[in-house]
A and B are shown apart, each in its own frame.
Chain A
Amino acid sequence: AQKVTQAQTEISVVEKEDVTLDCVYETRDTTYYLFWYKQPPSGELVFLIRRNSFDEQNEISGRYSWNFQKSTSSFNFTITASQVVDSAVYFCALSEANEGTYKYIFGTGTRLKVLA
């Protein structure tokens, strides 16, 4: 069965600290997609990144970076030099490539609080 686990319910850091949000997934498929979304207090989920199962290259986008490791079924998200505006709930999600069946599974989210 598919499953996404975000074991960290809430993390608090002081501004400018680096923080890593963990995501562990389970799937029996060989082809799948992984996503990270950010949910600020306004409520709307904002798409951050998509990764497919064949691309294990780590990605960096500004202060954000993602570490995808199939060997450990993890897709972790790091924010470097965190800022107060990064405070939000972050969701990791898994999707299979098969069309015809619903396949967006979300983790329970990690609430990140960045303190000034």
Chain B
Amino acid sequence: EAGVTQSPTHLIKTRGQQATLRCSPISGHTSVYWYQQALGLGLQFLLWYDEGEERNRGNFPPRFSGRQFPNYSSELNVNALELEDSALYLCASSLKTGKTVAFFGQGTRLTVV
């Protein structure tokens, strides 16, 4: 069974541009989570989607947004990129939040130059 897949693996953008990151959850999982992991730091919660709806978001500015599609895959969009947005963006999926294990993808490394 395929795990959580993220694309692209690496992304290089210029400050001010927009970045789009994609995530395909494990089959049957309805919840998708996005985290930002800046170099050497822990995981900062960005967004949680379940059943197509944004359920919660972390302490990030509105230029971080996303959506979840009917097939439960998800996109994370980062507008007006800043140098500090350079990080590893991790996506995870689970059956139901809380009770079940969240499985992670390999991440997208975003570099803003």
Contact = CB atoms under 8 A, between A and B. Distances in A.
Interface of A: 33, 35, 37, 42-47, 50, 91, 95-109
B92 interface: yes
Contacts of B56: 101-102
Size category of the binding interface on chain B: 20 to 34
Interface of B: 33, 35, 41-43, 45, 48, 55-56, 88, 90, 92, 96-99, 101-107, 109
B33 A104 contact: yes
A96 B100 CA distance: 10
Given A45-B90, A109-B42, A103 B97 contact: yes
25 contacts: A35-B101, A35-B102, A42-B106, A43-B107, A44-B104, A44-B105, A45-B92, A47-B102, A47-B104, A50-B101, A91-B43, A97-B99, A99-B96, A100-B55, A101-B55, A101-B97, A102-B45, A102-B55, A102-B97, A104-B97, A104-B98, A105-B45, A106-B35, A106-B43, A107-B42
A109 B97 CA distance: 21
A103 B106 contact: no
Given A43-B107, A101-B55, A33 B98 contact: yes
Contacts of B103: 47
A44 to B, nearest CB: 4
Nearest to B108: A43
B104 A37 contact: yes
Nearest to B48: A102
A25 to B, nearest CB: 14
